[in-house]
Structure 1
């Protein structure tokens, strides 16, 4: 009778082994994990041994939950006496461990971590710490060996503290989370027009006045005069970090394997400096420009003096000087700048900016440091040792790498975490854009267009947190996490080892960690999202429904009724060959936990017909002439390739090639005022039999509030009182706001 249970256990063993493997759930995913049988129980006051090189790193083990070690014993020579407990030892030649790699081995004797240098050892220790945090019982660990190394040497996160000052306690917390997920560079954006945040003793007014402004919220300050006030003014808002605080942060981060890169903006984004030292502006007056006067030698005296104090605080090899978005009109009108141009033989203002960048680059190189800046520093030429951060897409990074410059990839459409991370209609106001967790995860920092032998110049990737719309540290956390965890795996794990669904499953276990750290992370939404694939041959729509949950529970209807838990459960993509209105929602048991999403699938007369433009699209071609009659609706972002953009009036017509009965004509438009996208002022429809003589059959005027900052959609539809025959359908939509009109489909019935 015992044969059956024993046989069952034998059959179940492979499943139990697989289940054990799944429990690891590390982020980023390790390079190689080899499992052994059994577990290791961590005893109280477990012995701790380390060689001299890893003594400082050993202190990080205090972050391991429920781990209590005996006093550290420093080992001068590894021998048989130290074959148990926790051991932090150097790699030997026979171990075949790469310079930047580590090996974490857990067996019956204890825990052994080997590495070649302290930085790699720190990553091994944090792997162990994360294992403990993820475990229900941190004192019981599976026996295994992890061999791991990073894909990229630069794994960065950026934080803008100029637009909104962040308390040092939060900055350290940010560093803590970065370390756990194997980031190794913290880009600290300390100065910008909204406030100077670092004490410079030679220029006290930078923190006595340029660090303080009239309004707490950046947007309110921008809309109300952009003035700075003296520290101590009753309504002053802002703050700064003393040099002692900054040095303490540098030391704190270094202990966790993180290098702090300061950014001191120049030559643009410097209106806060010029407000208190107006002699450094071309005009000589405060509040007149954002760019330093390049022709004024005092500018470089100031910048180099500031840099001397910065270098004394930050030992980082890289020093960031910004270099982006400088408005050059002031230099064109400045006698000093023009005299400098003539004196050193510069042909234009791009080369004038390049001159300024080279001055600082040569100064930094003379101090044993390297300049890093945004991709605008390429304009006008760049010195040999400079490194580029490519933010305006990947083109700047590709150009710089092909020129032999090192590059950190940080393109806005993949790595700007100030973009909306889900449906903007449900979120606090953000800068704009649309960057979901899966899109971050899909990013590959090595562009396909890059010359093969230049890939070595891609050091890694960095996400940027610009805080214009993040007034508190809780809001920063909301925008950073969990997207930063996706980037952690992009930077660390090899491209071929990454898998979105595998990451998404592991991520479920890390929400517990973020909760324990009291991180105000973005919670995955239950809201139903739809994807429609239109088949032009079959004239059918295949609808896929999902949500941000790992296992969505969605019910839907097609009869116009509101879905309930008794409605049809969604299981697989559905094919529709007729015009259909689908209503769908997410449920937990019988409770609806999302709004009802309505998806209109149109199989209309204009599909496949040619569109002729009297005013062409600008900047956003989508699928060009095919866009507006391809049967495909746009999504939540005008970057998705289905929204066509117009800066003039929309004016186009469709040729049906024969007379057709026309009952209605509709177009959907998008509005999001932040980036200048608005509904049309008026929508008009005309019909014609010959393409020359048109008759107006209807018009609609927009009545919506165009000051509402949220993303909204509106369908303008003209329904004819009686069907009319016509060969040509013409639509005119007026661009009264002189911004962008975005539309995705002309729907004709």
Structure 2
């Protein structure tokens, strides 16, 4: 059997998995597809599958029989094969010349009253055209296809989803189930986060303790492990919770993904987020002791020997051109005191620990390049110098990608504000626990991956985008799916559909249908039809005496969470459910101390501001608020001192208003919110209101 024949068999196996669901909905003026195609031309009429409908392909008898077995049980399962092309009542699948369909993942679908012709110049294009056919059937009556001509191809070559299986393990069947859905919505990259401080998830034969020890912990939930000592245990310990993929599992999933034209990019974290490795092999750490360090020691050759041996086995398992090497959030603390790291810095003439990290990244990159692979890393790999061949995955906003493409490097957009699917997607009080953030379907859909500041040449280096699923609080498969869907569908359309073709109202309608389809297929999506929406206060302008008055900050606010800048606390705009909506103003490791000038001495009766607390991202309520007033800006009278009565140990999202009521005269109102002193802690407030 030829490679082409095997491909077409695999192609229709996808129909078995994702076909067969029909909804009794009338034909709409607009095709019910996600992502929306590049071009749709509508015609009169429709093509209806009947007992006489036949397939035509170039497959020989053996291939046709195999394909028929794959189609059993699907909407197309009863369609027989014709020995030669039929002009009427047929479905023709054609691999054509690139002059007809030039794009590698593009296709042309022609549906008329008499039949269907699907053409593509590559197997991937043919596959995506079949996903379109499947959606048209599944979203219609199961047998009628609208008469249309669709010319389609993706906007970006990289359309991905990341899944963290370190913090909470997901078995291979769960992974394959998500690959089915990603393929159905035309996504083509799966970033598999296989290692992190909470657990090692891939069998490495040279280092068996990585899966007999570092893959297991004596706690079911990550938070319990985090607060309970962060220790690991042997696989046969009765308390052991975790898991890993054997190399046979990996090969099975990689092949499964390839059949659906999804490339799996494995991630092996370095130099940080490596607590599980260093607890198992402490000689790779700066201290030489388990449970002390999170970063590999860069001063010892043992580290590079270990990483290179691991990567050799990873390369053997994954055919992906790229290997993700992490590179994010390394503390670098051990390196500053480690004699071996300091010697490495002196020997290599490195001026800082940032350059020491860059040394390690460059060295690993050379190793991978020598073995025919390239690296992707989180945007911290920019620090200390970026190599020409590296691809940057920009998660801390868009700045990393902008820096990369201006240096001539490819970049993938995955900023937390739009692409982190561990954030709340609706009113937090109605949702399961999340790490923080607030990312609605509409906000994910609004993402534009190409910043306006880029030239045409620079914009071409933006390869696409990725939705990230971090599983700190996702302890079950159902919860994980709830966080993925339908927001990943918004990113699928952002990655495929031309920007000028995007339409939120249309997408929302189509997403409602997609959620129902996913439920019928056994997924557990967020119930979009029951969405509560944003915080009511955020929907109106807050009229008050402080509105648009001059405000002075004694301590600077964070540039990352600036809101509308200097006037953010008096612009009348209240924050929503979470601090990352550009309406809350954040202060890191700092008190808040602001003074508002009311322009003239004014009778005031009320001063207040609201704060929020969420333990996961270290967002705290102030330990105390002091409100004072002055008529001359020199002598201040304390109006109120308000202490916080909510513990920082509370896990759930908290809102609290700190204020004063009474009677006073003031031109200047000073509002002080004191930090609780927890290192790395944030204070967030949205508006200081004076009445």
State TM-score, norm by structure 1: 0.83
Q: Establish whether residue 690 from structure 1 lines up as the match of residue 632 from structure 2.
A: yes
Deviation for aligned residue 1:297? 1.7
Selected match of 2:595 from 643, 650, 653: 653
SS in 1 for 2:488: helix
Change (3 A) 1:662 1:121: same
Contact 2:104-2:124 within 8 A present in 1 as well: no
Deviation for aligned residue 1:42? 1.6
- Aligned pairs (5 A) from 1:188-587: 188-524=192-528, 525-527=530-532, 529=534
- Aligned pairs (5 A) from 1:83-98: 85-92=90-97, 95=100, 97-98=102-103
Q: Which moved more, 1:326-335 or 1:311-320?
A: 326-335
Deviation string, structure 1 residues 312-363 (Cα, Å, up to 9, x no partner): 1111111111111122122232222222333333332222222222222122
Query: Which residue number in structure 1 is paired with residue 43 of structure 2?
Result: 36
Selected match of 2:107 from 80, 93, 102: 102
SS in 2 for 1:299: helix
Selected match of 2:665 from 722, 725, 730: 725
- Distance (Å, rounded) in 1 between the aligned partners of 2:683 and 2:302: 46
Contact 2:191-2:265 within 8 A present in 1 as well: yes
Q: Which has the higher contact order (CA 8 A, sep 6+)?
A: 2
SS in 2 for 1:377: helix
Deviation for aligned residue 1:532? 7.1
Contact 1:101-1:115 within 8 A present in 2 as well: yes
Question: What is the root-mean-square deviation in Å for CA atoms of aligned residues?
Answer: 2.7
- Distance (Å, rounded) in 2 between the aligned partners of 1:81 and 1:682: 80
- Distance (Å, rounded) in 2 between the aligned partners of 1:329 and 1:528: 42
Deviation string, structure 1 residues 614-636 (Cα, Å, up to 9, x no partner): 44434444334423333332222
Deviation for aligned residue 1:730? 2.9
Contact 1:688-1:726 within 8 A present in 2 as well: yes
As a proportion of its length, which structure holds more strand?
1
State TM-score, norm by structure 2: 0.90
- Distance (Å, rounded) in 2 between the aligned partners of 1:65 and 1:166: 28
Change (3 A) 1:60 1:469: farther
Change (3 A) 1:281 1:532: closer
- Distance (Å, rounded) in 2 between the aligned partners of 1:119 and 1:518: 26
SS in 2 for 1:419: coil
Deviation for aligned residue 1:526? 4.6
- Distance (Å, rounded) in 1 between the aligned partners of 2:370 and 2:218: 40
Query: Which residue number in structure 1 is paired with residue 174 of structure 2?
Result: 170
Q: Which moved more, 1:146-155 or 1:328-337?
A: 328-337
Deviation for aligned residue 1:216? 1.4
Query: Which residue number in structure 1 is paired with residue 10 of structure 2?
Result: none
Selected match of 2:551 from 607, 611, 622: 611
Query: Which residue number in structure 2 is paired with residue 640 of structure 1?
Result: 581
Change (3 A) 1:222 1:494: same
SS in 2 for 1:434: coil
Change (3 A) 1:625 1:297: closer
Change (3 A) 1:616 1:388: closer
Q: Establish whether residue 68 from structure 1 lines up as the match of residue 77 from structure 2.
A: yes
- Distance (Å, rounded) in 2 between the aligned partners of 1:27 and 1:90: 24
SS in 2 for 1:513: helix
- Distance (Å, rounded) in 2 between the aligned partners of 1:461 and 1:390: 9
Deviation for aligned residue 1:153? 0.6
Contact 2:109-2:149 within 8 A present in 1 as well: yes
- Distance (Å, rounded) in 1 between the aligned partners of 2:190 and 2:611: 40
- Distance (Å, rounded) in 1 between the aligned partners of 2:70 and 2:135: 11
- Distance (Å, rounded) in 1 between the aligned partners of 2:134 and 2:601: 72
- Distance (Å, rounded) in 1 between the aligned partners of 2:403 and 2:599: 47
Q: Establish whether residue 26 from structure 1 lines up as the match of residue 33 from structure 2.
A: yes
Bigger CA radius of gyration: 1
Selected match of 1:715 from 652, 657, 668: 657
Contact 1:162-1:189 within 8 A present in 2 as well: yes
SS in 1 for 2:629: strand
SS in 1 for 2:469: coil
SS in 1 for 2:667: strand
Contact 1:58-1:88 within 8 A present in 2 as well: no
Query: Which residue number in structure 2 is paired with residue 631 of structure 1?
Result: 572
Deviation for aligned residue 1:102? 0.5
Deviation for aligned residue 1:61? 7.3
Query: Which residue number in structure 1 is paired with residue 689 of structure 2?
Result: 747
- Distance (Å, rounded) in 1 between the aligned partners of 2:607 and 2:98: 74
SS in 2 for 1:464: strand
**Aligned residue pair count:** 660
Deviation string, structure 1 residues 270-304 (Cα, Å, up to 9, x no partner): 12112222222222222121222222222222212
Please list every run of 5 or more consecutive structure 1 residues that lacks an aligned counterpart in the other structure.
1-18, 534-542, 545-600
SS in 1 for 2:162: strand
Change (3 A) 1:456 1:606: closer
Contact 2:56-2:85 within 8 A present in 1 as well: no
- Distance (Å, rounded) in 1 between the aligned partners of 2:73 and 2:600: 75
Deviation string, structure 1 residues 128-187 (Cα, Å, up to 9, x no partner): 111121122x12222222111011111100101111110211111000000100011111
Change (3 A) 1:59 1:468: farther
Selected match of 1:622 from 556, 563, 580: 563
Selected match of 1:131 from 131, 136, 155: 136
Contact 2:534-2:577 within 8 A present in 1 as well: no
